Amino acid sequence: MPRRIAAGNWKMNGTQAALSELASIAAAAGEVSCTTILCPPTTLLQAAVQSSGSLAIGGQNCHHEATGAHTGDVSAQMLADVGAQYVIVGHSERRNSYAESDALVQAKARAVLSAEITPIICIGESIEQRESGETISVISTQLSASLPTEAQIVVAYEPIWAIGTGLVPAIAQITEVHDALRALLVKTYGAQGNEISILYGGSVKASNASEIFAVSNVNGALVGGASLKAVDFAPIMQALSDS
Ligand code: 13P
């Protein structure tokens, strides 16, 4: 069975003042049975690791090389060095704002694995692609071109139109996509594909979490806005633990 994972992505939010909130999230993580991950901004990573308890800490992005003349970039090796256990790669905000291609996302996933930590590989369709009936073909193409050779990965399906909008796909739509992703992972990795956690992301809240977690190939969530405060994130972790 894939691990059940509640992951939070703080995006570009949080100064040192937010470390007390992170401590509250870590305390809540100690109360649940699922795997919990928080990805704060890079500036807070090291401090976050120090107060993380059972909460795993992750980065939000990395360069695809380990070292070199890449001003302003951070490598997976550097993230691992300060205690990150995961790195999000291919988030739609990076694919769109920085024109990150599937090939680059794949190179980043490989770099994360080379640093002996786990990539969380994100994929998702735009509203135009959804409305023109291309969702399954778009996400299948994105995922297969972003996958590394090794199966030690986490996948996150985040429809772009559901991120930060309060819109959530119908349960039947989430089911259809997650079933297609599972089939693709099994085709790629054989039986190991059944062990990979597939997270749903996009406007997950305490009020909709249980319904989403009841979908058979949903193994957890990648949460943005509702991961910023323990009062919002803890019930999502709890819902996953209870599911
Ligand atoms: P929201 O939960 O704020 O919609 O963000 C989802 C997301 O992009 C997580 O990576």
pLDDT digits (tens, 9 = 90+) for 121-180: 999 999 999 999 999 999 999 999 999 999 999 999 999 999 999 999 999 999 999 999
Question: What pLDDT sits at residue 220?
Answer: 98
Active site (catalytic) residues: 91, 158
Whole-number Å distance, alpha carbon 223 to ligand 1 midpoint, is 5
Q: Nearest 10 degrees: CA dihedral of 1, 139, 220, 89?
A: 100
Question: What pLDDT sits at residue 239?
Answer: 98
What is the reported pTM? 0.98
Whole-number Å distance, alpha carbon 46 to ligand 1 midpoint, is 23
Per domain, the residue ranges of the chain are 5-242
Which atom of ligand 1 lies nearest, measured to the CA of 201? 6
Tell whether ligand 1 has an atom less than 6 A from the beta carbon of residue 224.
yes
What's the rounded Cα separation, in Å, for the pair 104 and 39? Answer: 21
Question: What pLDDT sits at residue 66?
Answer: 96
∠73-78-82 over CA atoms, to 5°? Answer: 130
Q: Name the nearest CA neighbour of 170 among 123, 132, 208.
A: 208
Question: What pLDDT sits at residue 160?
Answer: 98
Whole-number Å distance, alpha carbon 240 to ligand 1 midpoint, is 17
Query: In Å, what is the CA distance from 90 to each residue of 9, 122, 133, 194, 195?
Result: 13, 5, 22, 22, 21
User: What is the domain class of 5-242 according to CATH?
Assistant: alpha beta
Tell whether ligand 1 has an atom less than 6 A from the beta carbon of residue 124.
no
- Out of 223, 227, 233, 236, give the residue to mutate to test ligand 1, the one with the largest number of ligand atoms within 8 Å of its CB: 223
pLDDT category at 9 given cuts 50, 70, 90 is very high
pLDDT (mean) for 201-215: 98
Tell whether ligand 1 has an atom less than 6 A from the beta carbon of residue 147.
no
Whole-number Å distance, alpha carbon 30 to ligand 1 midpoint, is 23
Residue type for 97, please?
Answer: S
pLDDT category at 46 given cuts 50, 70, 90 is very high
Q: Cα-flanking dihedrals φ and ψ of residue 163, to 5°?
A: -80, 120
